[in-house]
Each structure stands twice: as C-alpha cells, then as structure tokens.
Amino acid sequence: MGEWREATVSGLTSRDADLREPQAVQRAVRETGPDWIVLSAAYTDVDGCESNRDLAFAVNRDGAVNVAVAAREAGARLLFLSSDYVFDGSKRTPYEIDDVRNPQSVYGTSKAEAEVRLLELMPACCIVRTSWLFGAGGKCFPDTILKLAETRPTLNVVDDQRGCPTYVVDLARAIVQLCRKNSAGIVHVTNAGNCTWFDFAEQIVKQSERKTNVLPVSSEQMARPAPRPAYSVLSPARLQALGIEMPSWADALRRYLEQRQG
Ligand SMILES: NC(=O)c1ccc[n+]([C@@H]2O[C@H](COP(=O)([O-])OP(=O)(O)OC[C@H]3O[C@@H](n4cnc5c(N)ncnc54)[C@H](OP(=O)(O)O)[C@@H]3O)[C@@H](O)[C@H]2O)c1
C-alpha cells in the first residue's frame, strides 16, 4: 500500500508460522527482522470459538504471547488487533479505552486475556481495538447481503446490536500512522459514526441500488451460539488525540462498493 512507502513490508501468513508454535514464530521474526509487527492473525470464527475453546485461547491469547516474546527478543514493536467484543455491550455511550473489559463470548475472552498478557509482557505494545470489518479478500457483511439480495426479495437483519462498521483500507491507513507515530497502549480504530446491522444492510442495499426489502428483527429471532454485545460503539477520543481522523462508515461503504464493481 502507498502508505508504507519507504518501508519494507513482509506479509507473513499461517504458512510462514503457526502462532501456536513459539519456535516457528521466533524464526519468522528473526528472519524478517522487523521494526514493527502488526499481528492481525487470529481464530476469528466467533461462533466456532464457543465450541473450540482450547483452539481460541491457543491462537488468540497464547499465540499473541508467542509473538510478543519473539518481538521482545528481536527488539521489535508490536501492534495487536483486538476487538469490540472485549466489552459486554451494556453501555449506551461509546466505550472508552480504559472501560472495564467484560467479554461475553469465548472469542471476546480470548482477545481480552491477550490484551492483558501483552500489556504485562510489553507495556509499550499498541493494542488496536476495531469492529465490524469489511473489505476485499474474505467473507464480509456487505458481500453476504449483496449475495442474498440476488435471490431473496426480503432479508431479515438484526436491529438490536449497535456498533461501528470499519473498512479495512481505512483501518490499514490508521495502523500505518500509528506505527509512524510510535504509538503505545490501547487505541480504538473504527470508521466514524455508528449503526445497527439492520441500518448497515439497508445502506448496502440502497447504495448498490438493489430492490430487496430489509426487515428489522431481534437477536433472539436470529439466535447464534456466541452472544454479541448489544452496544459496542468504540470511542475515537484517543485516536483523535493522536491526530488521526477516520471517514464515516457510509463513505467507507461507498468506496468499498465502487472498488468491488470494478
Ligand atoms: N472481522 C471483524 O469484524 C473483526 C472485528 C474486530 C477485530 N477483528 C480482529 O482483526 C483481525 C483480523 O480479522 P479478520 O476478520 O480480517 O481475520 P480473518 O479474515 O479471519 O483472517 C485471520 C487470519 O489469521 C490466520 N490464522 C488463523 N489461525 C492462525 C494460526 N494458528 N497461526 C497463524 N495464522 C493463523 C488465518 O490464516 P489461514 O487462513 O491460513 O488459517 C487468516 O489469514 C483479527 O485479529 C480479529 O480478531 C476482526
């Protein structure tokens, strides 16, 4: 990406090192000799984590610790991707960086415990909490809605979970700036504004000029194995204090849909 100009970027994958294997992680870090490690790899299947608890903690918590240990040995800085799911969702005003963690799911607990361990091991590490990611290169909510809209005249979408959609391109830009500013501690990085999944789906259908009707339903009607926070809006106060502003989620969606078309 343009933002990493004048930097050498090595994109490592699970084929280069399994986070659960400390020696493989150490070797990968030693071989690349980075100034910064951006740890975005994780076991991200939120419902799968409920039935694969051991795997969730082995990858998301212990794997992150393995990376922190290797980073410390190599004298590298670490930026760790965390989640809005570290909160219970009981607030009705944006979560600040120092609000108490109280995760309700196994995935959220594995991320919350990783945060605590990393800050103990490496107080200068940077923890970026983000939420509701969308973008090219994987499964994401806008793609799912557009696919369903091809065949279904009506879509039921939950209207009692509020959060911040985040375009991975905007997140990546903010991460580069955080590294360049040598940031440490917890930072919330999401697109600006907030909405429910229902609002998000309506906006996807509207912006892409589809005819599908979107209907609001409750989380109870769409029961899933892992509980989701009812409210997980993350306050941008710390990000703004660092001089970084994020575009609105609706603008980010427009840019994503444009690049998706072609
Ligand atoms: N998606 C969201 O809405 C969201 C919200 C908040 C925070 N986050 C955080 O943001 C980060 C990126 O999320 P994402 O949804 O973009 O992730 P993703 O698409 O699910 O990708 C996760 C990556 O982690 C790799 N991985 C899994 N287990 C691994 C292991 N044991 N060793 C090495 N690599 C492993 C996977 O590699 P393979 O495919 O080869 O297995 C995959 O490339 C994660 O840390 C996630 O917790 C995501």
Instruction: Please write the tens of the pLDDT for every residue from 204-259.
Output: 999 999 999 999 999 999 889 999 999 999 999 999 999 999 999 999 999 999 99
Q: What does the pLDDT read at residue 242? A: 98
The pair of three-digit structure tokens given for residue 177, joined into one six-digit string: 């700036």
Residue nearest to atom 2 of ligand 1 (CA): 133
Residue nearest to atom 14 of ligand 1 (CA): 44
Q: What does the pLDDT read at residue 6? A: 73
- Cα three-residue angle 74-75-77, rounded to 5 degrees: 110
Q: What does the pLDDT read at residue 39? A: 98
Q: Which atom of ligand 1 is nearest to the CA of 20?
A: 31
The pair of three-digit structure tokens given for residue 229, joined into one six-digit string: 């926070």
Q: What does the pLDDT read at residue 8? A: 86
The pair of three-digit structure tokens given for residue 60, joined into one six-digit string: 């998301």
Prediction pTM value: 0.97
C-alpha 216: how far from chain center:
25
Parallel/antiparallel/unpaired status of strands 185-188 and 133-134 = unpaired
Q: What does the pLDDT read at residue 81? A: 98
Q: What does the pLDDT read at residue 7? A: 80
Look at residues 187, 171, 175, 176 and name the one whose alpha carbon lies nearest to residue 135: 171
- Cα three-residue angle 172-78-9, rounded to 5 degrees: 50
CA distance 61 to 55: 10
CA distance 76 to 163: 32
Indicate if ligand 1 lies below 6 Å from the C-beta of 191.
no
Residue nearest to atom 1 of ligand 1 (CA): 133
Beta strands in the chain (DSSP E): 36-39, 77-83, 126-130, 133-134, 154-158, 162-163, 166-167, 185-188, 195-196, 213-217
- Cα three-residue angle 65-82-97, rounded to 5 degrees: 110
Q: What does the pLDDT read at residue 3? A: 62
Indicate if ligand 1 lies below 6 Å from the C-beta of 131.
yes
Please give the single-letter amino acid code of residue 119: L
**C-alpha 44 – ligand 1 centre gap (Å):** 5
pLDDT beneath 50, residues of the chain: none
